[in-house]
């Protein structure tokens, strides 16, 4: 397939577990705020929403009721793909992290290894990865493997060979997390090297590295890219984005400038083989 043959799937991650309103006053916390921010981003080009949950005071949460409320509000008016995080926050147990699967989203993130995450330790054992994958498939949920370092890609390839993951594999290359692979162009090839040729891959880059590395990924033929307040609150150096939607609009403009087009939610479903049944 030529690098520009298929449209680019844009994912929005409106809120994660680390960024707070100290970083940006418009970081959404409640399900209503998260849904509203997600719908604004979908309106300008996002086809996938990557969800974390927060308590009203901003504390990261694994409460499925909070996930479910946001998902319901988004699905009332949009057919965008809903992906829930099973990464949660670094201090959560795997049981807390995987409660989001109870909401039957279209997709879920899934880790295949542990790492230093800044000054914290983010633990995901191989048995926990295998169990999480089984739980997702049992509910008809498509996993996206989050690759923070090369060892995670090697582990994902092994899980695929052993039948714990199903082909074609969906992966997200996460560049620039302190403790993970560095945010450099060579990191993309390093993370893809252990994986089969038919992998569907997207790129997330943290902070100031976001725009240049996503542009490179688009030129290399990436299936998708991700933006949002979970990863970065700035459009340019010293210029904070006004919203998640502004970050999505900006990256969509860049994608078009380099000669590719934006995938609609339905095109994204077709590319990722995800039905609307969930």
Assess if residue 3 is contained within a domain: no
Q: How far apart are CA 174 and CA 225, in angstroms?
A: 10
120-122 and 115-117 as β-strands: parallel, antiparallel, unpaired? Answer: antiparallel
Asked if residue 168 has a cis previous peptide bond (ω within 30° of 0), the answer is yes
58: CATH? 3.20.20.70
Which residue(s) pair with 171 in the sheet?
145, 201
Assess if residue 164 is contained within a domain: yes
Q: How far apart are CA 238 and CA 254, in angstroms?
A: 19
Assess if residue 277 is contained within a domain: no
Assess if residue 159 is contained within a domain: yes
Residue 159 has a pLDDT of: 98
Residue 3 has a pLDDT of: 78
Total domains in the fold of the chain: 1
Assess if residue 2 is contained within a domain: no
Assess if residue 17 is contained within a domain: yes
Q: Quote the domain boundaries for residue 119.
A: 9-272
Q: What would the pLDDT profile of 177-229 be if each residue is shown by its tens digit?
A: 999 999 999 999 999 999 999 999 999 999 999 999 999 999 999 999 999 99
């Amino acid at each position: 397939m030529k690098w520009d043959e298929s449209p680019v799937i844009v994912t929005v991650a409106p809120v994660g577990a680390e960024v707070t309103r100290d970083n940006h006053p418009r970081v959404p916390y409640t399900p209503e705020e998260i849904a509203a921010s997600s719908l604004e981003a979908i309106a300008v080009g996002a086809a996938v929403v990557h969800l974390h949950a927060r308590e009203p005071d901003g504390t990261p949460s694994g409460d499925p009721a909070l996930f479910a409320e946001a998902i319901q509000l988004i699905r009332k008016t949009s057919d965008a793909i809903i992906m829930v995080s099973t990464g949660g926050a670094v201090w959560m147990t795997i049981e807390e992290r995987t409660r989001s699967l109870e909401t039957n989203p279209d997709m879920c993130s899934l880790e295949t290894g542990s790492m230093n995450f800044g000054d914290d330790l983010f633990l995901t054992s191989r048995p926990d990865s295998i169990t999480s994958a089984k739980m997702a498939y049992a509910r008809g949920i498509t996993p996206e493997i989050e690759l923070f370092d090369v060892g995670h890609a090697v582990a994902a390839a092994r899980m695929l060979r052993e039948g714990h993951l199903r082909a074609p594999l969906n992966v997200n290359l996460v560049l620039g997390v302190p403790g993970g692979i560095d945010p450099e162009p060579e990191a993309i090839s390093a993370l893809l090297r252990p994986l089969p040729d038919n992998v569907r891959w997207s790129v997330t880059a943290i902070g100031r590295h976001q725009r240049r590395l996503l542009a490179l990924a688009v030129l290399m033929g990436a299936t998708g890219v991700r933006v949002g307040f979970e990863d970065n609150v700035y459009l340019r150096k010293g210029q904070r984005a006004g919203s998640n939607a502004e970050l999505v609009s900006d990256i969509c403009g860049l994608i078009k400038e380099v000669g590719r087009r934006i995938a609609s939610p339905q095109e994204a479903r077709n590319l990722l083989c995800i039905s609307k049944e969930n």
